[in-house]
Amino acid sequence: MKTKNINIVIFVMNIFDALLTIFWVLSGQAVESNPFMNFFLQVSPTLFYVVKMGMVGFGLIFLEKYNNFFVAKSGTFACFFFYSWVMWIHFSYAVGA
């Protein structure tokens, strides 16, 4: 699979992560464990979403631009596995809720 396709999948998982995080936190069933992102979530869920999309989007563009380098390609796959793990956590919350 090309890194461009993987980056698209990562961005879609990022969208779900943001929306599910907002849902779980606002419903009182979870807390945002990242203090940096928790600040934005406490200010506004919309601000949290925009910052999260911007940061991850910028990072993925950077990784795609330099995907011919081993470290960038490794970063892409690391992000994919990280977001897969995060999706598993959200799924576990949903099943357990």
**Assigned token pair, 10:** 């990562």
pLDDT at 1: 67
pLDDT at 82: 95
**Cβ(82)–Cβ(9) under 8 Å?**
no
pLDDT tens digits in sequence order for the chain, 97 residues long: 688 899 999 999 999 999 999 999 999 988 999 999 999 999 999 999 999 999 999 999 999 999 999 999 999 999 999 999 999 999 988 888 5
Q: What angle do CA 20, 22, 28 make, to 5 degrees?
A: 100
pTM over 0.95, yes/no: no
For 66-87, b/e burial (b = at least 16 CB within 10 A) is ebeeeeeeebbeebbeebeebe
